[in-house]
Structure formats: C-alpha cells, structure tokens
Amino acid sequence: MKPMVTTFVLGMSLSFGMPALAEGSHGGHSHDDAASQAAKPAMSATLSDGLVKKVDKAQGKITLKHGPLENLGMPGMTMVFRVQEAGMLDQFKPGDTVRFRAEKKNGALTVTQLETVK
C-alpha cells in the first residue's frame, strides 16, 4: 500500500510541476527567474475580442459575441458569461466593442477582465 501511495504522490507532483518548468525554462536563468517568468503569462494573458449583445446587471451576466478564446480552447461564438464583479458591467451597453478574458471559475465561464476598445 505504501509504495502505491508514494508512486501516486510522485506522479501527481511531476504532472503538475512539468508544465511550470517547461514554461519557465530559459537557459541561464535561476529557478527564481523561471518561476517569475512562468507567472508572467497568467498576469499578462491574451485578451479576446468581443461585441456586447446584452448586459444583465441584476444577474451579473453579459452576453458577448466573441472570437476564439485561446486560453479556453474555444472557437468564436455568442454566449452568456458571468462576471467576476457585477460592478464591471456599469460602463458597458449592447453594441460596445470590448476586449476581455474569460476563465473557468467554480465550474462557470467567468469574465475576469473587461475593457472597452476605443
């Protein structure tokens, strides 16, 4: 039983650790540099283009016609998203062109960043 648990823990740590190492492995950089490099893509993540079709402030939702969502592997389509904070919707109306980031949070696609395109 003990070897099986050890194998499971080792396997899990490798599967979670490998992507971070692959993203942050740049020749000549220390481990700390690699960790900070791996964190940067998440912070400066690519935004997707969208067009606001509907805003539902009461429900904290927005309907967007959008291009591909690269971070989620989704093609372009029109869909309803939750927003991380209802106050994000105060400055948007149908017809606005936006750039946004959606992420899967608690099983729901949620807009975490939303800005107007000028």
Residues 52-101: pLDDT tens digits?
Answer: 999 999 999 999 999 999 999 999 999 999 999 999 999 999 999 999 99
Q: Which domains occur in the chain, in start order?
A: 2-43 (no CATH), 48-116 (2.40.50.320)
- pTM score, whole prediction: 0.62
**DSSP 8-state assignment for residue 84:** S
The residues, any chain, with a CB within 8 Å of residue 78's CB and separated by 6 or more, are: 53, 63, 64, 65, 66
Largest Cα–Cα distance in the chain?
Answer: 61
For 8-56, what is each residue's pLDDT tens digit? 444 544 444 444 444 444 444 444 444 434 443 444 468 999 999 999 9
| Mean per-residue pLDDT of the chain | 76
Q: How many Cβ atoms sit within 10 Å of the Cβ of residue 21?
A: 13
Helices (H), 1-118: 2-24, 31-43
